[in-house]
Amino acid sequence: MTRKLLKEGIRFVTGKTQNLKIQGRKNEAIITAKCLRASRNLFEALKNPRVKLEKIERLVKTKNSLASLYKKETGQNWPM
């Protein structure tokens, strides 16, 4: 993941931007987008005091599963 994409990805995860353009190999772009969405879902749930622990646990599990796929596809750890 490039520095620029990491910076824009953080902006996406934290809700500061709604759209993000990902360039590169198709499979890598798809798994990156899925990881970003999962990271954003977890971030939003953690900010919400009404979200139950079970949902947080499910979101963490989903993000970690996608991060594992990201590592297999790119050879790099998911940075978020």
pLDDT tens digits for range 20-71: 889 889 999 999 999 999 999 999 999 999 999 999 999 999 999 999 999 9
Please give the pLDDT value at position 55: 97
Q: Which pLDDT score is estimated for 1? A: 83
Backbone angles phi, psi at 15, to 5 degrees: 85, 10
> What does the block give as tokens for 40?
């954003």
pTM to 2 decimal places: 0.92
Q: Residue 2 above 90 pLDDT?
A: no
